[in-house]
Amino acid sequence: MLKMHNIRKSFRTDTIETHALRDFSLEVKEGEFVSVTGPSGSGKTTFLNIAGLLEPSTDGQYLLDGEDVSNLNDRQRSHLRNEKIGFIFQGFNLIPDLNLFDNIDVPLRYRGFNAKERRKRIEKVLEQVGLSARARHLPAQLSGGQQQRIAIARALAGEPRFLLADEPTGNLDSLMARQVMELLEFVNEWGTTIVMVTHDPDLARRAQRNIQIVDGQVCDLRPVTEQSDAVSA
Amino acid sequence: MFEFKPILSTLWHHKASALLIALQLALTLVIVSNTLLIITDRMEKMARPSGMDIENILTVNFLAIPQDYDMAGAVRADLDMLRALPGVVDATHSHQIPLSGSGSANAFQTQPNQETGGEVANYYRTDPHFIESLGLALVTGRNFTETEMQVLAPNEQRQAPVIIVTRQLADKLFPGEDALGKPLYNGDSPMEIIGIVERHLGAWPEWSKAGNVVFFPALRTTQSMNYLVRTESGERDALFKLLADKLAERDSERVIEVNTLSNHMARSYAVDNMMVKVLSTVGAMLGFIVALGIVGLTSFWINQRTKQIGVRRALGATRTNISRYFLVENSLIAATGIALGAAAALIANQYLVRDYSQPVLTLLPLGICALVILLVSLGAALAPALRAANISPATATRSV
Amino acid sequence: MIIYYISLALRSLRSTPILSALMVAAIAVGVGAAMTVLTLNYMMSRNALQHKDNVLYAVQLDSWDPNKANDTANEIPWQLTYQDAQALLRSDIPTRQVAMHRFGFTVEREDSHLRPFVASARVTSRDFFALFDVPFLYGGTWDSAADQAHTQVVVLPKATNDRVFAGENSMGKSITLNGEPFTVVGVIDHWNPAPKVYDLTNSPFADAESLFVPFGLHRQFEIDTWGNDSGWDSGSKSEGYEGFLQSESVWIQYWVELRDGEQKQQYETFLTAYIQGEKAQGRFQRPLKFALSRPSEWLRLNKVLRNDNRVLGWVSLAFLLVCVINGVALLLAKFLRKAPEAGVRRALGASRSALFIQHLIESAAIGVIGGIAGIVVALVGIRTSRHLAMGWIDTVASMDWLMMLAAIGLALFASLLAGFYPAWRISHTNPAIYLKTQ
């Protein structure tokens, strides 16, 4: 599903507090649920941005779903991102001016679906996350857990093959965090590949596999079950 | 404790926005300084004394209907009637209405049959009542007498033996001399200057020689005639209608039009007045828009830096420090814009002078405009800067 | 997709009502001021004779003072002397030719309740209507005899016919001018070229005259001019009205219609010969000089568009430029404030160009609203200018559909110009920095 080989990323501007990746190689298979951990500044976010086609890598090869995406232009990358990748963020990142229906509508618009298709999909995912009744509410009127469920619904509406989650439960209390995790696991069971960045060892352990990034490189590749509790928060 | 270095580095970070503000201020200075110049030039022009009692004079124009109209008789009867009306100070006939944009001019020389030279002057055929009817000031010499009046046929070319001129014309034709008693020529026969009036702006305030005026004691009996009627102060508007009625009643064989001298003058200055009004409106709107832009952008910056300000406050910066920071920042931008603008204003002015014959921009008005723009800029930044000072130090510790 | 962007734009404008209103106001005021001035300048620069620009010529002859050139733009008097006009009228080279000037009459109608009034008149030779393409409602111009001998006939414009004859076909009816009966031979339809290209000596934006009478009436009515009459030679040959007619005063406007280059050359030869003939008799003592100017050249030569108008044009454009720069700054602030949203959209699959277009459309929405408001500002501005000008620009102080469209176009252009950089900035911002919670 995702294959990175010798990825390098360096930044010239000094305003972004992210370290470069170097000789970064990684493979995620179709249907896997992988957690990514690592200390602050290790390059987790850079990995996520490159994996999510938000930023190009400086060097190296990146195959997404068998397609080499290293040298695509912005339009092609945006198209792939829209079609194959769903994002879930720690801060939910719902657009505050748009109601839930319109928020979920955003990626579908860029996909170019007609109004009927969009409505069908939006209603379906709203039902999946159990928030159909609140379609016309604004994000601010929802609790954090509900907002994250909408964000997941928005990520799923385009039926992506690959879900990227960045600390999806970071802003949630434990009950809501559990609900969100259960939802993600449910989605994974239906075949969507998930890569989740987190620094919560309990969450990381729930994934099928854990990858640790230290200083811009993949440090260790062990099955989660064998991993010690040494991951720092 | 001016923090130039952090300000400069912040400005560099926001260089696009800072440059946009500076550019706006520069352009504003270019426009405002040049328009202010034009405005003052036109206002000075409009404020020139006309020499006449503008506000209290009614003008009458009439066109006689019959071809064999007894103009001389009508003028005599009309003026007798007008002068007898209560509220009327005096009335005169004049072949043209001053300041109306219609008038006659000729060249006048100091020697007989002189083909070149002399001065071109506006002239009026009128009667001995003209000084009183226009409220002119006779500086020296005497007025015309009734016996000096000539009644001319429509195309009769007879020179007047005596004339009255304005001081401006007398000084131009006889610089450093007393013009009284001297002859002027327009051909071979002399016209003796018997009196000099202080000033009279003539028919065309636009004209480069406006103020060169000669008066003849004559009445030419054409189909059309004008009267100038001076009323007692404040009586003008009440007499307006009465005048038209009385004249029509005395003789209905003509079409009469009554107007005010101030209206004629306003029409003559309409273009200048329009320039002044339009340019000042544009200048005011410009200041307003630029001020809004500065308020908007400064607020935006402060918004973006709320946390940073909180941190500064937490680290011990006083409110004054914070406000001053933003005001100094604004002054730096404004100074850059004004420096750019001053140079551009002088360049733009060269084109205006060369291509459109507008006045020359000097450093004093430019400096005044620059100062005003600097103050507007600082004034606009003041409110957001004071608001920034009110940001609580606690902001620093809030995470989201 | 465009519709989606428009709905997003309107939503975005509504979400920051004060900032949006400020930007719309800035564009409206900038475009309004520019369009006020540009409309007036455009109207003043029109050429009502454009369709005959290559066949009509205003004639100027340098009959002026041997000691001093006339102070017009080409140093030839704008107008001709009466005697020269009469001499030129005798030429049969031009297809059509007109000698004319402005005058005025008192107007009455026998057996009616019409109050006598003063009407401006054009004293002209008969070709006036055909040469300037004046449309007739009834009748036509007078016979050529009327241009030589005294014949009391008149052509009325529609407005005068409406006033005096209540709009009926007045052909053959009598109207009293300066107390004398005149017979109506024609009524022309509404015709009011602005600028008044055929006679720019008075106000170039005055209305066309209210009466048209033949050029043969001068001696009968001792007609002088209600216009500019300049002279340089005070010594006249004869006395009285005849002396005026034979003087060196210039007060007659003269136009010819010359079909092609050949005819023009013939006419130039004729003018040269005429001036040489007059020189032999002691007139035309200046170097031989005449000018034939097309309507477009005539308007330029006469500086119909004054320096003041040009200055105002530049000032208003500079003002609009400030409004645009102001717009850039405000849009930049507004868009950057929404940068997180742009980041989310990027993550959800929006390309840079999609975001660029979305934000450009938001700018355009401000432009269109600002443009419509700008038309209102311009209409108020034009009305105010008209009021301030006290009648000098009445015929040109109006806005046609073309200029209204131009106002929207200008606003759209200004707002796109203003939105270009901010939209580029926002679409090229790295989305990742806005997605991570700080």
Closest by Cα among A94, A168, C437 to B400? C437
Ranges B166-170, B205-209, C232-236: which has the least confidence: C232-236
CA dihedral C413, C417, C423, C424 (to 10 degrees): 130
pLDDT of residue B394: 74
Residue pair B127/B166 in contact by the 8 Å Cβ criterion: no
For chain B, the first-to-last Cα distance in angstroms comes to 31
Mean pLDDT, range B68-77, rounded to an integer:
94
CA dihedral B202, B203, B208, B214 (to 10 degrees): -40
Chains touching A (at least 3 CB pairs under 8 A) are: C
Residues B247, B194 within the same domain:
yes
Q: Is C322 in CB contact (< 8 Å) with chain B?
A: yes
Report yes or no on A231 lying in a domain. no
Residues B226, B290 within the same domain:
no
Residues B326, B204 within the same domain:
no
Residues B148, B198 within the same domain:
yes
Residue pair A70/A2 in contact by the 8 Å Cβ criterion: no
Residues B98, B222 within the same domain:
yes
pLDDT of residue A221: 55
Mean pLDDT, range C167-193, rounded to an integer:
95
Distance from CA of C319 to the nearest CA of B (A): 7
Report yes or no on B291 lying in a domain. yes
Mean pLDDT, range C380-385, rounded to an integer:
93
Phi, psi of A37 (to 5 degrees): -125, 170
Report yes or no on B59 lying in a domain. no
- The domain tally of chain B equals 2
Residue in chain A closest to C353 (alpha carbons) equals: A75
- The domain tally of chain A equals 1
pLDDT of residue C391: 84
Q: Name the residue type at position C94.
A: P
pLDDT of residue B203: 92
Residues B156, B189 within the same domain:
yes
pLDDT at C437 over 70: no
Residues B92, B221 within the same domain:
yes
Cis peptide before C214 (omega within 30 of 0): no
Q: Name the residue type at position B94.
A: S
pLDDT at C256 over 50: yes
pLDDT of residue A228: 45
Query: Could you count the other beta carbons within 10 Å of the beta carbon of residue C236?
Result: 17
C410 vs B5: CA distance, rounded Å: 42
pLDDT of residue B15: 81
Mean pLDDT, range B170-189, rounded to an integer:
91
A93 vs A82: CA distance, rounded Å: 16
Q: Which residue spans within B202-294 are E strands per DSSP?
A: 213-220, 224-231, 254-260
pLDDT band, residue A227 (cuts 50/70/90): very low
Range of the domain at B279: 4-47+271-397
pLDDT band, residue C99 (cuts 50/70/90): very high
Question: Residues of C with CB below 8 A from B21's CB?
Answer: 329
Give me the percent of chain C exceeding a pLDDT of 70.
Answer: 98
pLDDT of residue B299: 81
- Give chain A's count of helices (H) and strands (E): 7, 10
pLDDT at B115 over 80: no
What is chain B's length?
Answer: 400
According to DSSP, the β-strands at B162-166 and B213-220 are antiparallel
Mean pLDDT, range C81-106, rounded to an integer:
95
Mean pLDDT, range A198-223, rounded to an integer:
81
Q: Give me chain A's average pLDDT, please.
A: 85
pLDDT of residue B233: 93
Three-state DSSP class for C51? helix
Q: Is C282 in CB contact (< 8 Å) with chain B?
A: no
Name the helix (H) or strand (E) containing C374.
Answer: helix C352-388
Look up the CATH number of the domain holding residue A180.
3.40.50.300
Mean pLDDT, range C233-254, rounded to an integer:
83
Q: Which residue spans within chain B are E strands per DSSP?
A: 57-64, 88-94, 104-108, 119-126, 138-141, 150-152, 162-166, 183-185, 190-197, 213-220, 224-231, 254-260
pLDDT band, residue C438 (cuts 50/70/90): very low
Ranges A172-181, B55-64, B189-198, C262-271: which has the least confidence: A172-181
Ranges A115-129, B306-320, C32-46, C372-386: which has the least confidence: B306-320
Report yes or no on A101 lying in a domain. yes
Mean pLDDT, range B50-63, rounded to an integer:
95
Report yes or no on B309 lying in a domain. yes
Residue in chain B closest to C418 (alpha carbons) equals: B20
C101 vs C279: CA distance, rounded Å: 26
Residues B31, B167 within the same domain:
no
Mean pLDDT, range C157-163, rounded to an integer:
96
Distance from CA of B92 to the nearest CA of C (A): 23
Residues B23, B112 within the same domain:
no
**Best of C11, C335, C344 to mutate (most A CBs within 10 Å, chain A):** C344
Q: Which residues are C117's β-sheet partners?
A: C107
Residues B132, B234 within the same domain:
yes
C372 vs C405: CA distance, rounded Å: 9
C417 vs C322: CA distance, rounded Å: 12
Mean pLDDT, range B196-215, rounded to an integer:
93
C-beta atoms of C244 and B155 within 8 A = yes
pLDDT at B400 over 50: no
Report yes or no on A233 lying in a domain. no
Mean pLDDT, range C380-400, rounded to an integer:
89
Residue in chain A closest to C338 (alpha carbons) equals: A95
pLDDT at B243 over 90: yes
pLDDT band, residue A19 (cuts 50/70/90): low
Report yes or no on A191 lying in a domain. yes
Report yes or no on B52 lying in a domain. no
pLDDT of residue B71: 94
pLDDT at A229 over 60: no
pLDDT of residue C318: 92
Closest by Cα among C283, C219, C281 to C248? C283
pLDDT at B162 over 90: yes
Report yes or no on B54 lying in a domain. no
pLDDT of residue A44: 84
Residues B245, B104 within the same domain:
yes
Mean pLDDT, range C53-57, rounded to an integer:
96
Residue in chain A closest to C433 (alpha carbons) equals: A16
Residues B117, B246 within the same domain:
yes
Mean pLDDT, range C257-276, rounded to an integer:
96
Name the helix (H) or strand (E) containing B335.
Answer: helix B319-356
Residue B357 backbone zone (phi > 0: left; psi -120 to 50: alpha; other: beta): left
Q: Name the residue type at position B88.
A: V
Candidates B38, B257, B356; nearest CB to C310:
B356
Chains touching B (at least 3 CB pairs under 8 A) are: C
pLDDT of residue B399: 47
Q: Which two tokens stand for residue C193?
A: 């070229």
pLDDT band, residue A14 (cuts 50/70/90): low
Mean pLDDT, range A186-204, rounded to an integer:
89
pLDDT of residue C236: 57
pLDDT of residue B143: 96
Give pTM, 2 decimals. 0.86
Closest by Cα among A199, A164, A157, A170 to A184? A164
Q: Which two tokens stand for residue C237?
A: 């040959």
B213 vs B103: CA distance, rounded Å: 11
pLDDT of residue B114: 77
pLDDT of residue B132: 96
Range of the domain at A25: 2-226
Query: Which of A 88-117 lie inside 8 A of C, CB atoms?
Result: 89-91, 93-98, 106-107, 109-112
